[in-house]
Chain A
Amino acid sequence: MTLAHAWALRWPERRLLLLCALAIGLGFAMVLGSGYAEGRSFQTLDLLPLLLYVGSLLAMHLTLVAARFQGDQILLGTLAFLAGFGLLAQSRMGTLDPSDPANPGLYLFPAGIVLMLTVCLALMRGRYERLAAGQWLWAGLSLTLVAAILLLGQRYRGAVYGAGLITPTELLKVTVVLFLASFIDRHAKRLGNWGKGFPRPPVRDLLPLAGFWLALAGLLLAQRDLGMFVILNVTLLVMLHVGTGRAAYPVLGGLLATGGGYLILEFFSHGQRRIEAWLHPFQDPTGNSWQILQGLSGLYSGGLWGEGFGEGHPEYTPIAQSDFIYSVIGEELGFIGCVLLVLFFLVFFSRGLGIADQTRSGFGKLVSVGLISVLATQTFLNLGGVTKFIPLTGITLPFISHGGSSLITGLVSLGLILAISEGTPAGARKDKAKAAPSQTRAEPRPRQTPRRVTRGTSGEL
């Protein structure tokens, strides 16, 4: 493929990125203008976050064209908007202080984009299949990460966190998905064997997974990271279901989760308090439910359209810049702003799932499904918590919330999905064409085919 061809191929992405830059630019003018109206004088340096954002988009696009990247373009457009929206919200909250050009927060997004491109380019053309070989490496890395933070981290608000900006456990979202994808892909057939007659799980084949999971869950619960615990469990069930085609996994998991949920809440006082604040917010409005009610008050003040970025008073909601950023958006852009944001998230997820649908590599499919389910669960837990739809779990909103590790992890995940969307090299695809007839002949369950393709590919590599 020539460079000109690649340039022509990626015009939808170019258009989307341009529109993003325009919309975010307008939002940025709103944020700066309201600051100016409040008496802050305007500095050229104030434009730095916007310039860095636009520069990153431009560099990203040119790099992808230069690399003759054929992968997805919609995901990138959506991400550009979500991240830009996050940038607006953070500028508005004052967490991106441009008066100090050395502020590391300013360069988080550019650094994340660089990382995303590195991951994407390094793993495209089917090279991501090699990640499957490191199955137990990912498992070990995951456990080490949680153990390390448990030993070295600091206690804050009833849970353990890493030092400062860095929360190494965020990376779990990638490493655990990689482990699960390789494990489930390798043992898909046996994991799908629930016996004849009365269904019973293949306990012996699940043992290694269960052992790892118990260790991970134990460590996570020891540091009271309930949010992460929920995200990873949902992801596990989704991946088991997709990998084996067995609906029994989510059903069994759902039953276990209901029982386990009660047990866990028995032992976690801050979990109980959150349930209480969710069920009876007006029992203790100035204490336990203060944050959630302030967030909801912000939403109510915002109404349908809001007052515009920079016009609200999100400072009244505790830690609004991270977990409660959604209530700031609801306050300043109103209900419509929230619906738009949710729509962008939905487009993002649907595109991610679409890529998984079109991927014939079992490992690739599982990785994309896993990463999307991590992001979707995280988004749902955050939005649901802030709007009091579900109890508060205290996790960040992907791409929007303040928090470097969360943003970097999100971008690395996206890099992986992009690499998968690039597809497998021509040789492997020919192989797949050969494998195709066998698919119709074999069982109707789709899980069979991907596994064969994987084997074929790894044989060639």
Chain B
Amino acid sequence: MATLDINALLDPRLWPSTRLVLHVAFFLAVFFLLKQLFDLLDLARLKHLARPKGSYRIPMILLTLLFGALLIHQATWQLAGIYRPQFIGFMQLHDRREFNPAHWIQRGRLLDHRGEVLAYSEESQGRVYRRYPDGPVFAPVVGYTQPRFGATGMEAVATAHLNGGEPASLNDWGELGRQLVTRDKRPRGKDLVLTLDADLQRLAVERLAGQRGAVVILSPTDGAVRVLASVPSYDPNRIGAELFLDAEAGTSLLNRATQGLYPPGSVFKIAVAALALERGFSGTLDCPADGFTTSERYRKIRDHEYYEARRSGTSWRGHGRIGLAQAMARSSNVFFAQLGVQQGRDAFQTLADQIHLNRRISLHESPYGRFGLITGELPSLAKTDRHGLAQISIGQGRVLVTPAYMAMLVAAVGNQGVAMRPRLIAREPAEPFARFMSASTASQLAPMLRLVVTEGTARGIDTPRLRIAGKTGTAENAQGDAHSWFVGYAPADRPTLAVAVLVEHGGYGSLVAAPIARDLLLRAQETGLIHRDP
């Protein structure tokens, strides 16, 4: 059979050399054909027609010039594409052809603010591999880059820089291009220093191990993000199809810190208190043990002490008439539900705008993507929906926030009401993002948050070593046990770090999230991120 003979004749191992021979032979044949074509032009002239007048010469010259210009332009991409830094950056990221010379560049490393390596490139047997020494720990920020599945995270957003593609001058780039062409030295991109603190982030991930949750730590005064952890995460050293196909494993791709929308529970009382203070609230409210509701149709909103008493078979007298500071320290739902309903729907609309809910904030942006965070969601309610308003006032119902945003919000309290733009890249300058509340509101709120730790729901984490201020949260949700929250900052009088901890279905914020926050802040103090109290 002819088929079998030919298959036996061809040996795949011989293919590389056969290919080269065919390639050369094809070009030779085409060259020869073209030469014959030109030789025969005159021989095959149309003698039976009228004599040529040559009137086609000028159009032909024009056409040749036009196509010549096209080919020259093509050559500036095809042969001299190396002089287009953005083009090389694009190809490194999005071109999956293995023989593309752009892949010859060794990408720069990603470092934490102390110079610890979070991602680097390594050459092995003529190919370049990207390595992530800490595996899943930094994946929510660093992301991955991989020939088959592309890139994400800072690897994608900062790709041009990592490839050396943001040259300060064309000379710098020319040197890189020369190395790429001559291959006498493997060209290297540029390192990128992040604001992250590797040690602190490792601790955060360790403390969340086995659970689902997120930790965000940032500096209230300059917006530098020190920790941005999301657990579970994926290992960027091992990116495979199963990561994207398996729905269960897929949740590891979700960045809970910046994209995970959770009911805030009591931590949202910070925002409600800020709203009331801005509008001049200074009195007390009666908080009966039996609770508060806007209409008989709805279940009453009660304080957790009521439920605790009922569970233990005793009775509880209620808080009685208390002011804002006491209500904050004890996290009184009855107080805040009344307070919120008093302020009214329109006030909440203004609040949502002022504290930038329903937004996306960009931490770093480039044509190759953006690293951003969602702040939260606070939809406008119907005018008659007073119960919805009461729910929102205690951080339940239709309000949702991300952990990263809560860190920004509490940081604003510690920074005289101004939220700084969160930033991940060390060399970027600090800049204010927005004023979330007036300085006087912030200065009234700050002692209340300190009171929460000294006397209130978070007194379990009070420590003589560090003056922590903050707010716990225990957010009920339809999916299971309550989410455990703690947001706060330290030192209380001159904050240098703000923190938000969320543990999905963790239970009481005071028991689960708050201790994690304390341990992280104490570690930060040991490593010098927080200056010791004066």
Contact = CB atoms under 8 A, between A and B. Distances in A.
A16 B37 contact: yes
Interface in A15-73: 15-16, 19-20, 22-23, 26-27, 29-30, 33-34, 36-37, 39, 41-44, 70-73
A388 interface: yes
A356 interface: yes
Contacts of B54: 357
Interface string B16-52: 0011101101110111111011101101101011111
A37 B37 contact: no
Contacts, number: 231
Nearest to A387: B74
B102 A300 contact: yes
Contacts of B74: 299, 330, 335, 338, 383, 387, 389
B70 interface: yes
A290 B44 CA distance: 46
A93 B73 CA distance: 26
Interface in B75-117: 75, 77-79, 81, 86-87, 90-91, 94-97, 99-102
Interface string A353-367: 111111110000000
A286 B19 contact: no
Contact of B50 (A16, A307, A360): A360
B30 A23 contact: yes
Interface string A328-362: 00110111111110111111011101111111100
B44 A432 contact: no
B71 interface: yes
A302 interface: yes
Contact of B10 (A23, A33, A290, A312): A33
A5 to B, nearest CB: 13
A33 B46 CA distance: 41
B66 interface: yes
B55 interface: yes
Chain B contact residues, majority secondary structure: helix
Given A33-B22, A376-B63, A387-B73, A300 B3 contact: no
B429 interface: no
A297 B36 contact: no
B78 A303 contact: yes
Interface stretch (A74-82, A95-103, A152-160): A74-82
Interface string A1-20: 00000000000110110011
Contacts of A384: 70
Contacts of B81: 296, 299-300
Interface string B465-487: 00000000000000000000000
- Residue of A12, A359, A446 with most partner-chain B CB within 10 A: A12
Contact of B71 (A22, A37, A342): A342
Ranked 3 nearest A-B pairs via Cβ: A353-B56, A23-B29, A37-B15
Given A73-B44, A359-B49, 5 more contacts: A19-B32, A74-B44, A316-B97, A331-B97, A358-B53
Interface of B: 2-3, 6-7, 10, 12, 15, 18-20, 22-23, 25-27, 29-34, 36-38, 40-41, 43-44, 46, 48-56, 59-60, 63-64, 66-67, 69-71, 73-75, 77-79, 81, 86-87, 90-91, 94-97, 99-102, 367-369
